[in-house]
Amino acid sequence: MSTISEAEVAARVESLLRKMSLEEKVGQLTQIAGASFMPGPAPEDIIRKGGAGSVLWLNDSKQFNVLQKIAVEESPSKIPLLFALDVIHGYRTIFPVPLAMASSWDPEVPERAQSVAAKEARAAGLHWTFGPMLDIARDARWGRIVEGAGEDPCLGAAMAAAQVRGFQGPYLGAPEHVVACAKHFAGYGFADGGRDYDPVYLPEAQLRNVVFPAFQAAVKAGVGTFMSAYMDLNNVPASGNRWLLHDVLRNEWGFKGFVVSDAMAVGNLIIEGFARDGRDAACRALIAGLNMDMASGTYPQHLAGLVEDGTLKLSDIENAVRPILAIKIRMGLFEQPYIDEAKLEQVVATPEHRQEARLAAQRSMVLLRNEGGLLPLAKSLKKLAVIGPLADSMEATEGSWMVFGHTPAAVTILEGIRSKLPGTNVSYAPGPEIRRDIPSFFEDIMPTEKKPLETPEEAEAAFQTAIATARQADLVVMVLGETADMAGEAASRASLDLPGRQEELLEAVVALGKPVVLVLLNGRPLSIGWAAEHIPAILEAWEPGSEGGNAVADILFGDANPGGKLPVTFPRKASHAPLYYARDLSHLPEDSFQYRSRYWDGPTTPLYPFGFGLSYSTFSITNLKVSSPQIEVGDSLNVTADVTNGGAQVGDEVVQLYIHQRAGSDSRPKRELKGFERITLNPGETKTVTFHLGPAELSYWSTAAGKWVQEAEAFDVWVGADSQATLHAEFTVVR
Ligand code: BGC
């Protein structure tokens, strides 16, 4: 555990506070941009006056030392800076995007990944990452679905805790680790229509039963910081929402760290039609419980004045400063403010880290279809064509949310396949390029060199070349999906179709009559209805990171057996969003003919359900047992099932447990995931999986009761390989 006691931290905080001026205290509540795209005074000048507690949007080890020296040698109270950046799925070694890591259904995957990310980031001089992103998202149009763990609170909570452990290590301040930040609190994933930043209207029951569990799991895992969300939540913007930031987070959950706003969010309280002006915004955010203003400049401009005229008390400011100083003390920044710049290159992107990334990518991929056992492919293939605009794209392989200033260094899918098959003729053609219709605003902030737009004639020529290349091959691997900037922040879509001419290309290649394998690189579920019927083998590789190409090749050629499962429902069409498995029942029985009355233009069932994924092995799950048919409120029971690998090779199955409470003070979702375990089985091997159901799993926040309840009711329980599992048992809770 931490070498430094709570009492010692508290004493050191108080002694610092005693010597700080009001301006310096406000400075600690101020995060400034180290980037050149931000207007305003130079960071050096602000820091010298004690006007900043933290710097973001800077990724320059040398400059970290320069700025830190100014803070600890020249500023009045010599308090070190916290350097912060978005290290979302890797610093130099890029891991699969978080949605992909959630597809592993193995919390060890994100835990190990984030611990590598932390080690690399810390060596570079960063202390604090703006992750994990814990927003539950049920609308695939929302671009930021890629940053989270998908649609489910139980899976989300497990991934949340794992990521906090990975980033922070065994305790806050552990060497080679960074402070984590649970974001975006709260409800951001439910933006109206999936449009980024749009308001969110969520009943308290949804917040507490669906949105909060991942955040509370992060608190329990000891997360150091929280980030308030941008959007308006039930008419009170999250960054000025005292119920969220104070009543729930601190009073109910006992969070002791600090809250940073999302970028500019304090100032934006005015734009949101909430705060009258900057003064009002600063005052209301602080009172709401928001400690640090990320880059809006509203706190430094107004807080001191608000204290001087008596609107705020000095103690309001000091209470906000305390947890920030405490984290700096715990991180050992007063003892070791600098980093050894020369060491960085020895720590980052080592072969060990790349190997971790490869394993994580293998475990994150989801096999969606494998008709006739087309996969794994034989390495003896003579002529293979790799086709598609993403097949040789390092950016698409590493995915969205790259660390500021990162240069992609991924093994692409084409390279991975080529190095797996040195003796095979592997030809390649990208086909027509794909692009966003409306460019990302990040292109204005961080301009990257882009090729000029392809003309329709060039696109047609590329299309024909791709067909001609495919025609020469014995088998075609199509690599389709989305470019990195098509998912992520400000990257929502109205359609979930394959962008550009990809679908047309896919259909034209299939028309050649060759066996086709589809590898998807994308940051959200896509509506691939045609492919789901016509392409015999589909591998959802997501955005698999630096080693993505090798991991895809490992799976395609049988050196790894896929075992990932979808953490989100794949809808047939974008217009079906939000589509998720854990919905409440309607007034009609699900199997009745009237139930067809939902839409008349096609089924609303998922294309692929939550929890779904295939393997090269075949598993059976049998012998479901409930340890007791009846328990009392407050008691627990065990649910067991036997899992057998009937295939010819070692493989993984993710065994999932779902429950349904049949009646109660509120109606409950038709199914809710309450436990899961990814297990590895040898051919012919059987293991018994045991799940625990106790008060935590059987309680919920009831709208009718206005509180958490555990009710004496009958329950259904299913155990299986996805959210449509049919193996069923029941039990009753009595009082
Ligand atoms: C994003 C956050 C991110 C922050 C700092 C914001 O635009 O919403 O997720 O941490 O920028 O880069």
Atom nearest to 183 CA in ligand 1: 9
Distance from residue 57's CA to the centre of ligand 1 (Å): 10
Ligand 1 atom nearest the C-alpha of 230 is: 8
Ligand 1: atom nearest CA of 131 is 10
- Beta bridge partner(s), residue 675: 657
What residue type is 661 in one-letter code? Q
Element (H, E) at 318: helix 314-330
**Residue nearest to ligand 1 atom 4, measured at CA:** 263
**Alpha-carbon gap, residue 357 to 159, rounded angstroms:** 17
**Selection from 728, 540, 516, 669 nearest residue 209 by Cα:** 669
Angstrom distance (rounded) from CA 215 to CA 184: 9
User: Which atom in ligand 1 lies closest to the alpha carbon of residue 147?
Assistant: 9
Sign of CA dihedral 700, 706, 710, 711: negative
For residue 578, whether the previous peptide bond is cis, meaning omega lies within 30 degrees of 0, is yes
Decide: 387 and 428 in contact? Cβ < 8 Å. Answer: yes
Alpha helices by DSSP H, 664-704: 695-698
Give the integer Cα–Cα distance in Å for 301 and 304.
8
Across the chain, which has 735 residues, the per-10-residue mean pLDDT values are: 86 98 98 84 96 97 97 98 98 98 98 98 98 98 98 98 98 98 98 97 98 98 98 98 98 98 98 98 98 98 98 98 98 97 94 98 98 97 97 97 90 98 97 95 77 94 98 98 97 98 98 98 98 98 98 98 98 96 91 76 94 98 98 98 97 98 98 98 98 98 98 98 98 97
- Dist. CA 419 → ligand 1 center (Å): 37
CB 292 within 8 A of CB 245: no
Contact partners, residue 702, CB within 8 Å, separation at least 6: 205, 664, 665, 666, 708, 709
Whose Cα sits closest to atom 12 in ligand 1?
Answer: 86
The answer to whether the CB of 388 falls within 8 A of the CB of 430 is: yes
d(CA 712, CA 428): 62
Q: Which of 31, 38, 86, 401 is the best mutation target for the ligand 1 pocket, counting ligand atoms within 8 Å of the beta carbon and taking the most?
A: 86
Are the C-beta atoms of residues 329 and 300 closer than 8 Å to each other? no
Ligand 1 center to 302 CA (angstroms):
23
Structure tokens at 692: 């625990």
15-32 burial, b for 16+ CB within 10 Å, e for fewer?
A: ebbeebeeebbbbbbbbb
| Calpha distance 587→716 (Å, rounded) | 19
CA 311 to chain centre: 39
Q: What angle do CA 317, 323, 326 make, to 5 degrees?
A: 125
pTM exceeding 0.85: yes
Residues 6+ apart with CB under 8 A from 128: 54, 82, 83, 84, 85, 178, 179, 181, 224, 225
What are phi and psi for residue 562, nearest 5 degrees?
-65, 145
- The Cα 590–Cα 640 span in angstroms is 27
Instruction: Give me Rg for the CA atoms of the chain.
Output: 26
Query: Hey, whose CA ends up nearest to atom 7 of ligand 1?
Result: 263
User: CA–CA separation, 425 vs 572, rounded Å?
Assistant: 36
At residue 429, the 3 state secondary structure works out as strand
- Name the residue among 475, 478, 496, 477 with its Cα closest to residue 487: 496
Identify which of 404, 356, 347 has the alpha carbon closest to the alpha carbon of residue 545. Answer: 356
> Ligand 1 centroid to 249 CA: how many Å?
20
Active site residues: 262
User: Which residue has a Cα nearest atom 10 of ligand 1?
Assistant: 130
Pocket-forming residues, ligand 1, beta carbon under 6 Å:
86, 130, 183, 262-263, 489
58: phi then psi, degrees, rounded to nearest 5: -140, 135
CA-nearest of 673, 672, 659, 641 to 713 is: 659
Distance CA 162, CA 574 (A): 31
C-alpha 516/C-alpha 439 separation (Å) is 32
Cα of 455 vs centre of ligand 1, distance in Å, is 35
| Residue 263 Cα to ligand 1 middle (Å) | 6
Atom 11 of ligand 1, residue of closest alpha carbon? 263
Residue nearest to atom 2 of ligand 1 (CA): 262
Please give the structure tokens belonging to residue 294: 């990320």
**pLDDT score at 29:** 98
Annotate 229-290 with three-state secondary structure.
CCCEECCEEHHHCHHHHHHHHHHHCCCCCEEECCCCCCCHHHHCCCCCCHHHHHHHHHHHCC
Outline where DSSP puts E strands in 495-607: 516-521, 537-540
pLDDT of residue 648: 94
Alpha helices in 481-622 (DSSP H): 502-510, 529-534, 548-556
pLDDT score for 404: 86
Atom number, ligand 1, closest to the C-alpha of residue 184: 9
Cβ atoms 46, 75 nearer than 8 A: no
Return the number of other C-beta atoms located less than 10 Å from residue 571's C-beta: 25
Residues 6 or more apart in contact with residue 39 via CB below 8 angstroms: none
Probe target for ligand 1 pocket from 128, 489, 492, with the most ligand atoms within 8 Å of CB = 489
